[in-house]
Structure formats: structure tokens, C-alpha cells
Amino acid sequence: MICRRNVYERVSVGLIIVLLIIYLMGNTSLFSFIPSYMLTYWIIPGLWMVFILFMWFKVPKMHLETKLRHKGTILVWAFNCGVAMLMANLFAGMIQGFGKSPYSHSLQGILMNILFIFPALVGTECIRSYIMSTFGKRHKLKVACGVIVLMTFLGLNIGKLVQLTTLKDLTMYLAEQLLPSLCENILATYLVLCGGPLASIIYVGMTAAMEWFSPILPNLDWLAKGVVGMAVPIGCLMVVSSRYSKLTKEVKAYRIKEESIWQWAPTAILSVLIIWFTVGVFPIYPSAIATGSMQPMIDPGDVVLVRKVQDVEDVEGLKIGDVIQFSRDDILINHRIVDVLEQEGVTVYQTKGDNNSGIDSRLVKIEEVKGTIVGVVPKVGWPTLLFKSSNPEDLIDIEF
């Protein structure tokens, strides 16, 4: 028995090496001497098909953890998860609109895309299943974490990743690609654990089929893609894990211990959303106040909630009495509009702090307006002020 287990483990290590080699072929310049079209549409798919045949006929078979009578039910769940993802994307598209697919839908284009997508998908999920079946019986939680991280890493585009230079670019990449990929791999790994490779192939394949073969696709912004890409897999995971627990009638205490990897996912997503809000990627963002120029409405140490200016129409809609946030010499100032003027045919705003004795000496231009104040949270900005206090010169140009 120990000898047979060693064979399975050696095979699993070999499968991981094969996976890494194919990834390097498609995502690095190590094989740049091969024409990219030939590498992408012929060599790599060919390797995947040879690999699948090898696994089917030569690799020792592993038995599923799930009883055979439950497998059909789990496959139905996997299909329902795929439907949920498709419906969520369609619903989001109804809100934000649809656009034409960038992929070819000629007969040749469809055949080439099938050749590009599905051998890799089937091969990857077979490897995922084999690793979980080999190592997961003894160290289920650790192995699941390792598989999730490995598969998420192999889904990264290294070329695009190294081009990220700003916090905004990194945040958008995390929201649009990395975190949805992580959530998809969490669900796919759980489906593999419950129902074998076919379960994850059904789920992942349905999502891939919509992206590659639908003539129109939801035209979603990066934030909407992130919300759909994280919320749907995690929601499906919670439903499937709950039903699977009832299906197999396992001991409650054991399930709590073993499923902790799935239970932290909603907390992780909530933490990410809080970070996004803090760094200002939502339409409303927080900003700490350092001065008392807007007392009694806003005290030093308060945090104001600022609704971003989205376009020129938002700025032109500003009126006397609105409290706006605007930038001046890299400093953010929050003052009230006291007059709307025209200067050389361009709209400008006269502002004043409620606690100041006079109006601001400089007019605010349209391009300087960041947003309008829609709320105040008292005193929670004091930690930010402690950092700013070491650089008092930053506040010299603010008028009191």
C-alpha cells in the first residue's frame, strides 16, 4: 500500500512539472524562437492532447472521495454554478451594456479557439483532481490551499503583471483578474474534491465557453467584473459545501475543521472591498480632514465621504452652497461654493471655509474639482493626522 501511494505521489509531482513547463512555454520568452501563432494554436494544444491521452491510458487511476451514487448530484451542482455565473454576467450586462466579442466567430476561428481552450482546460482540471486525490486524503486543507495558489499563479499573465506601475493599476488588476481567478480556483478545487475533474470542467468550461464563443459579451468595467467574479463563485461555494455536508452526513465538528478554507473566503473578500474603499476606487471615497476651516460642520480629525466627479456634467451641476473637495498644489481642500462665475468663458467657483473670515483668494477651476462632500464621520481620521503632523509644511497653503 505504501509503495502504491509513493507511485501516485511521484506521478503527481511529474504532473505539476508538466503543468509548469507548459505554462513557461506560453507565458515567457524562453521559447521565443518558435513562432507565437504556432506555439499558441498548435504546439501547446498538441502537448495537452498528448498529455490527456497519456493520463487516460498510462497514469494509475485514483478513486474519488465521493461515493459513486453522489457523483451525478454533484455534476448537477457544478452545472448550476456555471449557470449562475452566466446569469450574473448577463444581468450585469443589462445594467452596464453589451459589446461585440473580440474573438473570431468564423468556422475556422471557432475551431481554433476550441483547440486553444479545451485541451488546456481538461488537462488542468485532471491535474487538479489527481493532486487532490493523491495528497488530499492526508492533508486536505494544506493541499487544497497549495493547489488553489498554484492554479491561480498559472492563470497570471506575467507580461501584463510586470507592466503595473501605479497603485490604481495594481488595484484594477487585483479586482478584475487576480481575485476573480482566486475565487474561481477555490470553487473549482472544491468541486474536484467532491465530484472529480468532470465537475470542475463543467463549471469552468461553461464560463470559458461564454467568453470565447458568444458573439456579444457584457461590457463591464473592472469593478463590476471583480464583483461578479468574486461574489458568484463564493456564493456557489457556500451553497454547494452546505449541501454536500448534508449529502454525506458527516460529523459537524469534522466539517468545521476541514472546511475552514472555504469559510474564510467571504471575510477575505470583505477585507478587499474595505481596502478598495479606503484607496478610493469606488464612486465614494473617504478623506481625512486636517484643519478647522469648515467648522462646525467638519472638525479636524473627521473623515468626509466624497462622491467623485465622474464627468463634466457633474461639475457643471455644482451650485452655490455645495461643499466640494478640490486640489491645489497637491493639497486637498474642502470648502463651500459661495459663487459661480465665468472667467474667459469658462466656469469657475468662488469658495470659502465656513469658519474662515474671508473668501478664498484663488478661484477653483473645473479640472481642480475632485468631488462633493456627502457625509461626515467624526474623529476616525486622527491616525492619518498623526502621520501628517510630521510634515506641517504640507498645510502651509491651506487658508483658515
Q: What is the pLDDT along the chain (400 residues), one digit of tens a residue?
A: 445 556 777 777 888 888 888 888 877 777 777 787 788 778 888 888 888 888 777 766 655 555 556 788 888 899 999 989 988 888 888 877 888 888 887 888 888 888 888 888 988 898 888 888 887 666 777 888 888 988 988 888 777 777 777 777 777 888 888 889 999 999 999 998 888 889 999 999 988 888 888 888 888 888 788 888 888 898 888 888 888 877 776 544 444 444 444 455 555 555 555 555 555 556 777 877 878 888 888 888 788 888 888 777 777 788 899 999 888 877 888 999 999 888 888 888 999 998 888 888 888 888 888 888 888 888 665 555 554 444 444 443 333 3
272 and 294 both lie in a single domain: no
**Measured at the alpha carbon of residue 361, what is the angle toward residues 357 and 366, in degrees to the nearest 5?**
120
Q: In the sheet where 323-328 sits, what is the strand order?
A: 284-288, 303-308, 369-377, 323-328, 331-343, 346-352, 364-365
Q: Considering the domain boundaries, does residue 400 fall inside one?
A: no
What's the CA gap between 387 and 282, in Å, rounded? 24
What's the CA gap between 150 and 229, in Å, rounded? 19
What's the CA gap between 276 and 96, in Å, rounded? 20
φ/ψ of 56, rounded to 5, equals -70, -40
Domain ranges, residue 151: 2-279
193 and 241 both lie in a single domain: yes
203 and 324 both lie in a single domain: no
Q: What is the pTM of this model?
A: 0.62
153 and 261 both lie in a single domain: yes
The DSSP H or E segment spanning 215 is none
Give the end of a domain, one of 252, 279, 306. 279
205 and 336 both lie in a single domain: no
Task: Give the residue from 140, 110, 129, 107 showing the smallest Cα distance to 197.
Answer: 129
Contacts of 67 by beta carbon, 8 Å cutoff, 6+ apart: 248
Alpha helices of 178-221 — where are they, by DSSP H?
Answer: 179-195, 197-213
Give the end of a domain, one of 251, 279, 307. 279
